């Protein structure tokens, strides 16, 4: 005897359940049914004690769990397909079609951070509570407004900021453990200007990214959070000092991020991670609210996976700000936004790009000579420019060996403390608003790296020969009141800028093109030249000395699978043109591909 003869009608009903048919079958339901269909005496006796419909109830619960689990898995797979590598325009279309809520999208990114951040350590501070609250507010506003709801240009876009950028209520660590001392944390009293602008445009802030102490390194190790690994191979360096942001963006921990750049720190990391890194003309975007390294050279810009997203973000970030004197008059000087209007597939047609002679020379420099494998990648990458209709000019007179000396003459080191004092005055925590007040509160001074004097060690690793940030030393003065400000800074900057512009006029150039780094990303599990890696290094710090715009695009991949970045620069205030050229190159080459992430660490936390 079996249950088939006792309960034929009930079993016919059970057998028609979708849980037990085809692809929707679940082992749990099958196990229950199989157990009670077996013609054992024990099962028959147990079933006799039950109401004949009890087994139906048990199977119904199992089937319900089956459908729920499968629906959840299907929904997750769909979100993964939709959101991995999503762009701002695509995300906004999904919101408009009510495919996803902002909360659902933010939860997807937070889950991805939770899954992988322990390995790559890109995001130092995850503000899940704040992000979900902001997402819920946006969802509620959209629901209340109905079909006529007007979204901002970056509405619902999950974003991360570098840890030196003030986000109200979060600790501006600047990568340094000294701003994390319990009771003396540098909690931002308000948003930095770019944060306020992006927040007003609708972004949702996921958190802040790891960076080396004070942004003074070409790799991404900090005393505040440890080491960030390259998303394409965690053993390798993502570069610094915006290595946390480039890793977060390329790994899809956020749709977009921001970086800062004093001597290469947006551009060189972008080159290691197949992302777009934008260094705007100095003065196009305010740096107010960003903890400075060398404020007369510091700059900030977006980091994105494609040029369109970068252009959208830069359009929001740009604008004059009374807290940053370099932005005065920028509206009249700059090309008009929004910058998406310059993004045309034929933008490179007929354009002429020169190659700086001192960067591609064979002779060694403070940042290292151009590695053979990097030279090979560069020569291959510029073929993409040519195929898109551009002309590439090699000429020894384009930024010759004498050029870096002109940019080194732009002296910013006497004013380093000036920048730190201005930052703490406006964006310091309740406990201190100056370097002196910090020392009094904590019992130790701020490091010389950011207030001048002789540093105990470290300093920016960009290399003075390349016109990179100088190590602070000597007497510190305020720029506004220094009678030598013109001789130290303004006049040498104009002289170096004139030297940069000269080949543009003589050779009818539109821009320059060169490798964003002198070398591939180094393996940080192995000593480089007998010591732990401090790189990769670049020869591009001169860009900051003269305040011109530059952008890095993906220029392909080395044979080992690590990215190579191509850098373009042009005259001041031609940011729209620059984005247009980058877009045309991107469309012609399509080099970008996302990294394949690992879930188990390959390297212990290297501090």
d(CA 518, CA 540): 9
Residue 425 annotated as catalytic = no
Task: Report the b/e string of 263-273 with b at 16+ CB within 10 A.
Answer: bbbbbbbbbbb
Strand partners, 125: 208
Distance of CA 352 to CAs 210, 291, 513, 556, 578, Å? 38, 37, 10, 21, 12
Task: Report the b/e string of 468-503 with b at 16+ CB within 10 A.
Answer: bbbbbeeebbebeebeebeebbeebbeebbebbeeb
3-state secondary structure string across 522-557: CECCCCECCECCCCCCCCCCHHHHHCCCEEEEEEEE
Tokens 């201005």: give the residue: 422
17, 162, 569, 574: the active-site residue: 162
17, 237, 242, 265: the active-site residue: 265
Tokens of 313: 């973000």
Tokens of 251: 């790994």
User: Cα–chain-centroid distance for residue 334?
Assistant: 24
d(CA 238, CA 219): 7
166, 237, 241, 545: the active-site residue: 241
d(CA 208, CA 125): 5
Residue 168 annotated as catalytic = no
d(CA 342, CA 575): 9
Q: Is the dihedral of CA 427, 431, 437, 443 positive or negative?
A: negative
Tokens of 227: 């080491």
Residue count (the chain)? 607
Strands 204-209 and 123-126: antiparallel
Contact 151, 246 (CB under 8 A): no
d(CA 472, CA 449): 6
Tokens 């929001």: give the residue: 316
Strands 226-227 and 221-222: antiparallel
Contact 301, 277 (CB under 8 A): yes
Q: Rounded to the nearest 10 degrees, how much is the dihedral formed by the CA atoms of 124, 128, 133, 139?
A: 100
Tokens 């005496």: give the residue: 41
Whole-number CA gyration radius for the chain: 28
Strands 221-222 and 256-260: unpaired
The SS3 assignment for 302 reads: strand
Tokens of 503: 């080949």
Name the residue among 474, 551, 472 with its Cα closest to residue 292. Answer: 472
Residue 361 annotated as catalytic = no
Q: Where in the sequence numbering do the catalytic residues fall? A: 162, 241, 265
């Amino acid at each position: 005897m079996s249950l088939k003869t006792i309960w034929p009608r009930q079993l016919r009903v059970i057998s028609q359940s979708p849980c037990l048919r085809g692809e929707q079958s679940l082992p749990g339901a099958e196990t229950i049914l199989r157990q009670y269909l077996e013609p054992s005496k024990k099962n028959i006796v147990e079933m006799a004690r039950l109401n004949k419909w009890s087994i139906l109830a048990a199977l119904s619960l199992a089937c319900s769990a089956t459908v729920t689990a499968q629906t959840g898995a299907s929904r997750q797979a769909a979100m993964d397909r939709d959101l991995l590598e999503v762009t701002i325009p695509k995300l906004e279309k999904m919101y408009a079609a009510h495919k996803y809520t902002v909360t659902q999208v933010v939860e997807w990114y937070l889950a991805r951070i939770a899954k992988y951040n322990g390995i790559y350590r890109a995001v130092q501070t995850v503000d899940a509570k704040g992000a979900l609250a902001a997402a819920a507010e946006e969802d509620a506003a959209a629901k209340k407004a109905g079909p006529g709801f007007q979204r901002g240009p970056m509405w619902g876009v999950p974003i991360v900021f570098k840890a030196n950028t003030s986000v109200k209520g979060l600790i501006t660590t600047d990568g340094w453990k000294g701003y994390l001392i319990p009771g003396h944390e540098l909690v931002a009293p308000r948003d930095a200007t770019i944060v306020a602008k992006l927040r007003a445009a609708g972004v949702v802030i996921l958190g802040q990214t790891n960076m080396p102490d004070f942004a003074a390194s070409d790799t991404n190790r900090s005393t505040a959070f440890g080491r960030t690994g390259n998303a394409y191979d965690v053993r390798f360096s993502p570069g610094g000092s915006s290595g946390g942001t480039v890793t977060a963006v390329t790994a899809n921990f956020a749709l977009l991020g921001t970086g800062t750049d004093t001597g290469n720190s947006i551009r060189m990391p972008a080159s290691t991670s197949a992302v777009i890194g934008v260094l705007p003309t100095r003065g196009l975007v305010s740096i107010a609210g960003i903890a400075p390294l060398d404020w007369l050279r510091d700059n900030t810009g977006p980091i994105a996976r494609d040029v369109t997203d970068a252009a959208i973000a830069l359009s929001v970030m740009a604008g004059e700000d009374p807290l940053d004197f370099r932005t005065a008059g920028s509206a009249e000087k700059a090309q008009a936004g929004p910058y998406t209007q310059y993004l045309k597939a034929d933008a490179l047609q007929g354009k002429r790009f020169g190659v700086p002679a001192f960067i591609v020379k064979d002779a060694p420099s403070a940042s290292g000579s151009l590695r053979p494998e990097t030279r090979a990648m560069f020569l291959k990458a510029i073929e993409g420019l040519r195929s898109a209709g551009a002309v590439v000019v090699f000429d020894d007179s384009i930024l010759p060996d004498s050029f870096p000396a002109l940019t080194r003459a732009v002296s910013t080191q006497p004013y380093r403390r000036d920048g730190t004092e201005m930052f703490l005055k406006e964006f310091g925590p309740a406990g201190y608003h100056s370097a002196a007040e910090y020392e009094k509160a904590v019992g130790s001074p701020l490091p010389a790296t950011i207030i001048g004097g002789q540093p105990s060690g470290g300093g920016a690793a960009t290399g003075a020969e390349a016109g990179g940030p100088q190590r602070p030393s000597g007497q510190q003065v305020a720029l506004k009141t220094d009678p030598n400000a013109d001789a130290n800074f303004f006049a040498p900057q104009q002289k170096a800028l004139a030297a940069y512009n000269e080949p543009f006029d003589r050779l009818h150039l539109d821009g320059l093109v060169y490798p964003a780094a002198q070398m591939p990303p180094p393996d940080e599990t192995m000593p480089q030249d007998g010591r732990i890696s401090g790189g990769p290094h670049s020869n591009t710090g001169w860009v900051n000395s003269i305040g011109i715009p530059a952008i890095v695009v993906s220029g392909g991949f080395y044979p080992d699978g690590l990215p190579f970045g191509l850098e373009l620069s042009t005259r001041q205030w031609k940011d729209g043109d620059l984005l247009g050229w980058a877009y045309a190159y991107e469309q012609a080459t399509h080099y970008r591909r996302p990294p394949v992430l690992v879930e188990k660490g390959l390297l212990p936390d290297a501090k």
